[in-house]
Structure 1
Amino acid sequence: MRNTRTLTRRAALGAVSVTAALALAACGGSGDSGSSGDAGSNSSASASAGTGSTAGAHNAQDVTFAQGMIPHHRQALEMAALAADRASSAQVKDLASRVEKAQDPEIRTMSGWLTAWGEDVPAASGGAAESMPGMDHSAGSGMPGMMDGSDMDMLKKASGADFDTMFLTMMIEHHKGAVDMATTEKNKGTYQPATAMSDAIVTAQTAEITEMNKLLGKG
C-alpha cells in the first residue's frame, strides 16, 4: 500500500486534472458503469448461492479468506458511504453505490460460513458495517490494500474534486488488495462457494479498477 504521504501528494497533484478527466468521462461512462455493475451483481449472486451446507468441505485457507475479507469489505463500505455527500462526480457516487450493493451481501454470506464452521466472525466495532465508528483500521494493516487511520481521516475531511481523486486512488489500492486475497483463495481454497465468490471478486473488482483508472485519466 502506498503510504499516506504518497496518497496525499497524488490527491493534491491530481485534483485539477481529475476534474477534467471526470467531465470527459461523463460522456462515455455509462458503458463502463454497466459492465462493472454486472460484475458486481455476479459477485453478489455467487455470494447468495454460497450459503448452502452441501457444497463440500472447507480448509484453513477458506477460513482465512472469510476472516480477512470481511473486515476488508467493511472498510470498502465505510469508504463508499462517504461518497454520498462528499463526492462531486456522479460517476464516483455510482461506483460507491455499486461497491455497497456487491460487498454488503458478501459480508453476510461469509459471516454465515464462519458461523456454520464454528469459527470466529470478525466483529465490527460500533455495529453497522456501513458506518463502523471507531473501527481500528490499523488492525487490518497487514492485509493488502487496507487504509490506515490517517488515510481514512484524510478521506473523511476531503470534499468535491479532492475527495473524488483521493477516493479513487485509495479504492484502486483497496481493490488490488482484495483481488490478491481472492486470487489466493481461488488457488488454495477448497470450499466451492468460497472459491466461486473469490472468482467473482476478481472479475468485478478488476473491472472496477479499470473504470477508476479511466476516471483518473489513466485509462
Structure 2
Amino acid sequence: MFTDRSTTHRLALTVASGAGALVLLTACGNTGDATAGHEGMTSSAPAATTSAQPSASFNDADVMFAQMMIPHHEQAVEMAKLAATRASDAEVKELAAKIQAAQDPEMVTMTAWLTAWGKATMPEDGHGGHGMPGMMTEEDMVKLQDAKGKQFDRMFCELMIAHHEGAIEMAKTEQAQGANPEAKELAKTIETAQQAEIEQMRTILDRL
C-alpha cells in the first residue's frame, strides 16, 4: 500500500507540473499582450491587407492607432459632408466626396479590428491623454459650418490640409511602432492617399 500511495503521489505531482507548464506557455503565447510588438513576433507575418479580420498579433501601438484614427476620420467625414451644400468649387466638392468614400470604410475596418482584439473603440481614459494631431477645434468647426462659397472652399482646404498632416503623423507612428501587418498596411495607405490629397488641395488654394 505504501508503494502504491507513493507512486500515486509522484504521478499527481507530474500532472500538476505539466498543467502548470501548459498554463505558462499559454500565457506567454498571448499575442494580444503589449509585448507582441517585438520584431521577432512579426517576422513571419502574412502579406498585409486591410481586411476586417486582422492577424492575431498586435500591440499597444496598433490599438492606439485605431482608437485615435477612428475619431480623426469621423471629423474629416463631418467636414467633407459640409462641402455638398456649402462649397462652390467643383473640385472641392469632388475631393470632399472622395475623402468621405475612403474614410467611411476605413472606420468600419478599424472598429472591427478593435472588436476582434477585445478592445474598446476609445481608451479607458478617453482621448484626453493622447492628443490627435490636426484635429479641428469646436470654434474651427463652427466657422466652417457658417462659411459658404469661395470662403468655404479656402477654409475647407486649409483646415483639411492640417487635418491630413495630423493623420499622416499618426500613420507614420503606426508604421514604426505597430505590430499588426494589416494595421501597418492601412497606415501606409492613409499616408500615401492623404499626402496626394494635400498636394491637390494646395494646388486648389493656389488658383482660388
Aligned position for 2:119? 119
The CA deviation at 1:64 is: 0.3
CA contact (8 A) 1:88 1:164 kept: yes
Alignment pair present for 1:214 and 2:199: no
Q: Which residue of 2 aligns with 1:162?
A: 151
Alignment of 1:185 onto 2:174: yes
Which residue pairs with 1:101 in the alignment?
Answer: 101
Moved more, 95-104 or 139-148: 139-148
Q: Aligned partner of 1:211: which letter?
A: Q
Return closer, same or farther for 1:90/1:145 CA change in 2, 3 Å cut-off: same
Separation of aligned partners in 1, 2:70 and 2:87: 25
**What amino acid does structure 1 have at the position aligned with 2:91?**
Q
How far, CA to CA, are the matches of 1:81 and 1:211 in structure 2?
18
TM-score (norm 2): 0.72
CA drift at 1:146: 0.2
Change (3 A) 1:147 1:100: same
Distance in 2 of aligned mates of 1:145 and 1:73:
11
Aligned length: 157
Note closer, same or farther for the CA distance 1:184–1:203 as it changes in structure 2 (3 Å cut): same
1:143 paired with 2:96, answer no
Q: Is the 8 A contact 2:73 2:107 kept in 1?
A: yes
Q: Is the Cα–Cα contact under 8 Å of residues 82 and 156 in structure 1 kept in the other structure? A: yes
Q: Aligned letter for 1:80?
A: A
Q: Give the aligned partner of residue 78 of structure 1.
A: 78
Mapped pair 1:201 → 2:180: no
Distance in 1 of aligned mates of 2:109 and 2:77: 15
Counterpart residue identity of residue 169, structure 1 = E
Q: Which has the higher contact order (CA 8 A, sep 6+)?
A: 1
Q: Equivalent residue for 2:53? A: 52
Q: Is 1:172 aligned to residue 177 of structure 2? A: no
141 and 217 in structure 1: CA distance in 2 versus 1, 3 angstrom threshold: farther
Q: Is the 8 A contact 2:86 2:152 kept in 1?
A: yes
Q: Partners in 2 of 1:178 and 1:196 — Cα distance?
A: 14
TM-score (normalised: structure 1) = 0.68
- Report how far residue 139 of structure 1 moved: 6.2
Equivalent-residue separation in structure 2 for 1:140 and 1:200 (angstroms)? 26
Aligned to 1:151, what secondary structure does the other structure show? helix
User: Which SS does the other structure have where 1:119 is aligned?
Assistant: coil
How far 1:50 moved relative to its partner?
A: 2.2
Q: Which runs of 5 or more structure 2 residues have no equivalent in the other structure?
A: 1-47
Structure whose alpha-carbon radius of gyration is higher: 2
- AA matched with 1:150: E
The Cα shift of 1:51 comes to 1.5
Q: Work out the CA distance in 2 between the residues paired with 1:140 and 1:97.
A: 32
Structure 1 runs of 4+ with >4 Å offset: 138-141
**C-alpha RMSD of matched pairs (Å):** 2.1
SS in 2 for 1:190: coil
